[in-house]
Amino acid sequence: MTTRRETGTTTPPADAPATALSPYLSLRQAVRPAIVTYTVLAGEQERAGELAEEAGQLLEATRKLLEAVGLVHLLSPKPGEEVPGDDHGDRQARLLAAYADAGILWAKVVGSSIALADGLLGQGRWDDVLRLADFLDHAGETVVADSLRGRANEAVHSNFYARLNRIHDKMSREETAAAIDTLRTLPRGFPERKLEIALRLRPLGTSVKNVTRLDRQSRNSVDQAMASLPDSADYYLAVISDIFYSMVK
């Protein structure tokens, strides 16, 4: 089976069975982008915004694709079936047209998926974009999927860098809680994750000492956390977090 490099779409070999559901993808793969779409629409019912419009276009494209794929299935001869001579030419022409329609409509589904992903990125819904990328990847659209993943991860990293840069040594109690949440939710795949946490433990620890009344043991634990190395950053982040929330209850 060969692969088209520019789109990641797989094409069947010349001897592929005529009864295959589609030369492009399976039925389950075709409807997977619609799963994310219904999730988006469920959250957009109260505001008919651009995101809902993009989702609606993707659903309509998916519906038409399924109609074309269904026609391909109906027109494809069953094994051992003989098509009368008068009907053979017309049936073959309709079958080729249905295959072409399926290919064009799949391209529209992919394009609508990209447009929907743009809207999701604009709203900070990175997890939905990553889910959409996974579905497209499983359908053979690896290039598009990799692009969406790259954009989503870049947006996630930019968001967290902005939050990390708001951590300083004179934070209020609310800011300290937000800083702890930022460090605890830092994605595992974040660049230099442990180092980023370790660098922030010093200003975080200073703020914890400023906004709470620590006993000697807790203060010593915070001091140890502030001087910790990256390899133990997660452990000492948990230590500071436990001390802070035990003091602000």
Look at 14 and 97; give whichever has higher pLDDT.
97
What percent of the chain is predicted at pLDDT more than 70? Answer: 61
The residues that bridge with 10 in the sheet, in sequence order, are: 3
Hey, what are 198's tokens?
Answer: 């370790």
pLDDT digits (tens, 9 = 90+) for 70-81: 666 655 666 555
Residue type, 149: R
For residue 129, pLDDT beyond 60: yes
DSSP per-residue string spanning the chain: -EE-TTT--EE--TT--TT-S-SS--HHHHHHHHHHHHHHHHHSTT---HHHHHHHHHHHHHHHHHHHHHHHHHHSPPTT----HHHHHHHHHHHHHHHHHHHHHHHHHHHHHHHHHHHHHHTT-HHHHHHHHHHHHHTT-HHHHHHHHHHHHHHHHHHHHHHHTT--TT--HHHHHHHHHHHHT--TTSTTHHHHHHHHHHHHHHHHHHHS---HHHHHHHHHHHT--GGGHHHHHHHHHHHHHHH--
The residues that bridge with 3 in the sheet, in sequence order, are: 10
What does the pLDDT read at residue 30?
55
Q: Per-residue confidence at 4, pLDDT binned at 50, 70, 90?
A: very low
pLDDT digits (tens, 9 = 90+) for 130-160: 988 998 888 788 888 999 999 999 999 999 9
CA distance 122 to 112: 15
Distances (CA, A) of 198 to 16, 170, 179: 57, 18, 13
Residues 6+ apart with CB under 8 A from 40: 51, 52, 55, 116, 120, 125, 128
What does the pLDDT read at residue 77?
60
pLDDT digits (tens, 9 = 90+) for 10-49: 444 444 433 344 444 554 455 556 655 655 555 555 444 6
What does the pLDDT read at residue 80?
53
Look at 82 and 140; give whichever has higher pLDDT.
140
Task: Please choose, from the candidates 140, 126, 118, 153, the residue with its C-alpha nearest in 3D space to the C-alpha of residue 28.
Answer: 140
Task: Please choose, from the candidates 151, 155, 154, the residue with its C-alpha nearest in 3D space to the C-alpha of residue 133.
Answer: 151
Look at 128 and 177; give whichever has higher pLDDT.
177
Mean pLDDT of 57-61: 71
What does the pLDDT read at residue 172?
96
pLDDT digits (tens, 9 = 90+) for 169-213: 999 999 999 999 999 999 888 889 999 999 999 999 999 999 999
What does the pLDDT read at residue 64?
72
Distances (CA, A) of 146 to 129, 143, 150, 152, 159: 11, 5, 6, 10, 20
10 φ, ψ (degrees, to nearest 5): -90, 145
Q: Is the dihedral of CA 219, 220, 221, 227 positive or negative?
A: positive
pLDDT digits (tens, 9 = 90+) for 206-249: 999 999 999 999 999 999 999 999 999 999 999 999 999 999 87
What does the pLDDT read at residue 210?
95
